Each structure stands twice: as C-alpha cells, then as structure tokens.
C-alpha cells in the first residue's frame, strides 16, 4: 500500500472560499458575517472536486491512501480572533471528514486546529478531541507561527504548547508541523515561510529537551525537512556543541520527514542522509508546486517516481511507502487493520 501522509483539500468547492471571504468581511462589519449553517455544499459537489482532482491523480500515479487535512494556506490563523478560527476550523475539518466518508478507501482525516495568535493552545483541545473521537482523524496540523510570518509565539519546546502535546500523547496521534499563509512581505508563503518553519521547528527541538518530557510525542516535518537534510552536518555539530546526545538518539525517535521534495537529487539526498525509518512518503499534490518539470516531462509533485528511482532497497522502499506511516500514525494503522489491511 502506498500511503501519502501529506494531502490538503486545495480543491474544495468555491462556496467555501466565498463563505470565508464573508467571514473576514464580518470582522469589520458584523452585519455581513455569515452563520456556519449558511454554507451549503452537497456530497455531489465534494465528489466532483475529489474525483476530478486528487483521486484522479492518485489513480494515475499509483498511490492508495492520503492523510487529508484542510488547505494549509487557508488556515490563516492570523485572521480574526479565536472565535473566528474556531468556526473556520470546524467547517474545514467537517469537509475533510465528509470526503473521508465518501471515499473511505482513499482518504482519512487530519485536523486543522483553531489556533489564534496569543491565545492559549489549550483552547484547541476541544476541536482536536472532536476530530479524533467523532471523525476518526489520525493526526493534526500544528502551526508553530499563527501570527503568519512574524513568529510571536514561544518555541515549540516551551510549556506554552504542552496542552496540545498532552492530548497528542493521550490519543497517540502525531502532528505535522505546518505553517499557513505568510502576511510578512519578506517571506513568500510556500517558497520561504514553509521551508523556514520546517527548519526552525527542527532547531527548536534540537536546542531543547522536549522529548524527555514527552518520549512518545511525534512530529512530522514536511517538505523534506526544509534545510535540515542538506545541513545535517551543521545540526550534528550544533548538537555536539550544546552537549546534546547524538541526533539519532536526541531527535530521531520523535521527528520524521516527508518526501515533498520535488526533484530526484533532493530525494536522493534525503534518503541518503536521513535514516530511512524517519522518511514518510508524501506528495502534497495539487499544492504549492503544480506544474510539469520541463527537464523530465513529469509533474514536480509526482513524488512516487523519485522514490522508485532512488538508490534504496525494496525493503526501504516499503518502509517509506507504507510501514513508516503505519508506525508513526498508530490510529491509521488501527483503521487499516480493522479493514483487514
């Protein structure tokens, strides 16, 4: 089975964006603010957006199951207050749940949290628990910078985040550390802010003893880990100077990297530098990089091709495609076993 651990509902019906625009307008003029019940999207509309997009590409490219979460750039936690984020997260998560219900063999949910700058993360716990208990979601997306590129929150190692970590451990779910839209002109959202955050999250964990407090906590750092694999020697050296254990003992029981790296040399580097047990297959298809690579004639985000071509064993390929995801996402593994898979 080929499990894609990084999918977003980037193709949701236009009614969702229209509702969000009304919600944003309502922050200035409450008289135009929509109620959640005013958003009407039929199952047929959901089917059409999925069948013509994600599911079509999954079939063409040969992947089986996608861990599916709301569109990352739409999370936009910097907009409005906690109440706005709470309503928006609930709507987006419900749509992903409905997609998973309509296509149970192909999609399973991961939750967006109703984060808001300066607000205690414990306010996210009810939505997290609803998605796990009622929707059967197998993970969450955690935004380390809900300010949108201004980095006003404490680092991920700070006790500020512990209410979320405690629930992650209790429910045995990992978090993909994933920022949202940048509202800082210095940082392009997908080309800079995302990769900055991937690298920053890793370094915040490296300089801390977070995993001593939470030995079973799991983070998936997307987009191949940002700069981390390319600068593995730098991080090893920094850990050594800080008198930390070797990275394999300090971080690699808890931190994993996906394969959203959109060229063969990048995947070759990732699989050579990072232990294969810490690499999970992902594509983030119909995401940040949607075009065709003129050097290969294939879509940049057709990442299965890169894994198939990488100089790794069949056993390692199986780990990347399936086994690692089942280990890092225990609730996914349980759901598959319940189906006899």
Q: Considering the chain, what is the average pLDDT of its residues?
A: 97
> Among this protein's residues, is 170 annotated catalytic?
no
Cα pseudo-dihedral 147, 127, 112, 186, rounded to 10: 0
What would the mean pLDDT of 275-283 be, rounded to a whole number?
98
Q: What is the pLDDT of residues 126-184, one digit of tens each?
A: 999 999 999 999 999 999 999 999 999 999 999 999 999 999 999 999 999 999 999 99
Q: What is the pLDDT of residues 74-107, one digit of tens each?
A: 999 999 999 999 999 999 999 999 999 999 999 9
With bands split at pLDDT 50, 70 and 90, how would you rate the model's confidence at 12? very high
From 284, 295, 308, 315, active-site residue: 284
* E strands present in the chain: 3-9, 65-70, 107-112, 139-142, 175-177, 219-221, 255-258, 279-280
């Amino acid at each position: 089975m080929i499990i894609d651990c990084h999918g977003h509902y980037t193709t949701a019906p236009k009614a969702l964006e229209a509702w969000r625009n009304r919600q944003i307008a309502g922050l200035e003029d409450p008289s135009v603010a929509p109620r959640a019940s005013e958003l009407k999207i039929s199952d047929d509309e959901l089917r059409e957006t999925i069948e013509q997009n994600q599911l079509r590409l999954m079939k063409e490219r040969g992947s089986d199951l996608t861990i599916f979460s709301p569109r990352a750039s739409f999370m936009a936690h910097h907009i409005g207050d906690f109440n706005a984020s709470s309503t928006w997260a609930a709507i987006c998560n419900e749509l992903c749940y409905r997609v998973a219900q309509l296509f149970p063999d192909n999609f399973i949910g991961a939750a967006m949290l109703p984060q808001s700058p300066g607000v205690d993360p414990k306010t996210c716990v009810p939505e997290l628990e609803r998605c796990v208990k009622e929707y059967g979601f197998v993970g969450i997306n955690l935004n380390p910078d809900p300010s949108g590129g201004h980095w006003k929150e404490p680092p991920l190692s700070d006790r500020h985040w512990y209410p979320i970590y405690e629930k992650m451990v209790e429910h045995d779910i990992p978090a993909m550390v994933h920022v949202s839209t940048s509202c800082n002109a210095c940082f392009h959202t997908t080309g800079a802010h995302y990769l900055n955050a991937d690298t920053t999250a890793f370094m915040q964990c490296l300089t801390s003893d977070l995993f001593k407090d939470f030995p079973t906590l799991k983070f998936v750092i997307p987009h191949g880990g940002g700069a981390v694999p390319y600068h593995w020697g730098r991080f090893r050296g920094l850990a050594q100077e800080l008198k930390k254990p070797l990275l394999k003992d300090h971080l690699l029981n808890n931190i994993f990297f996906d394969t959203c790296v959109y060229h063969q040399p990048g995947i070759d580097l990732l699989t050579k530098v990072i232990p294969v047990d810490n690499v999970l297959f992902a594509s983030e298809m119909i995401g940040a990089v949607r075009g065709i690579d003129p050097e290969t004639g294939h879509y940049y985000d057709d990442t299965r091709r890169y894994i198939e071509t990488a100089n790794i064993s069949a056993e390692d390929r199986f780990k990347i495609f399936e086994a690692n995801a089942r280990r890092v996402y225990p609730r996914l593994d349980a759901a598959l076993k319940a189906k006899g898979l």
